[in-house]
Amino acid sequence: MASAYPIEGRCDCGKVRYRMLTAPLVVHCCHCRWCQRETGAAFALNAMIETDRVISLGDEPEVIVAPSSSGAGQRIARCRDCAVAVWSHYAGSGHLTKFVRVGTLDNPDVLPPDVHIFTASKQPWVTLPDSAQSYAEFYERKDVWSQDSIDRFESLRPQIETYRASLQEQKM
């Protein structure tokens, strides 16, 4: 992880700029077929962070709803001009967390993946280092996240539960 925060990122044209104030909770390298299709690449590299720890420095992105394997969809924030995706909000924690696209950081080298997930569907030509934490599907949080990240996420839990309850009420 990067040792000095804040760090910044942007879309291709630079109209959408953001600053991550702290380290993310976790950095996922997802090899699922949905991420492959969505990115047009072999995987997606996302830094999960609390939304209030990311501040806008430029134009606000347009948020579109895209399908997801869960069926709940994801909200993808894209620049209105160049259409680069800068982050997503997944249904699990909704607007409370952002999954920042690491490739949009000014220096993406500072956030290598903590874990590779859904490797059962990774491209066969992608070779993971022997030292990489990897899971055929997903993992137990306690097996991957630092205690600080677990504590930070737990502090969001009441808000996440409220968000999930509001989704249930909308279905009724």
pLDDT of residue 139: 96
Across the beta sheet with 44-50, what order do the strands follow? 62-66, 74-78, 85-90, 97-101, 44-50, 26-30, 115-117
Task: Compute the distance between CA of residue 53 and CA of residue 22 in angstroms, rounded to an integer.
Answer: 7
Q: 29 near 47, Cβ under 8 Å? A: no
Q: 3 near 70, Cβ under 8 Å? A: no
**Helix ranges (DSSP H) in the chain:** 33-39, 141-144, 147-171
Side-chain-facing half-sphere of 59: CA atoms under 13 Å: 18
In order of start, what are the domains of the chain with their CATH numbers? 7-139+146-171 (2.170.150.70)
Rounded to the nearest integer, the mean pLDDT of the chain is 93
Q: What global pTM score does this model have?
A: 0.92
Q: Look at the alpha carbons of 113, 145, 86, 1 in this order and tell me if their dihedral is positive or negative.
A: negative
Condensed to tens digits (0 to 9), the pLDDT of residues 66-124 reads: 866 666 678 999 999 999 999 999 888 989 999 999 999 999 999 999 999 999 999 99
Paired tokens of 12? 């291709």
Task: Compute the distance between CA of residue 93 and CA of residue 85 in angstroms, rounded to an integer.
Answer: 19
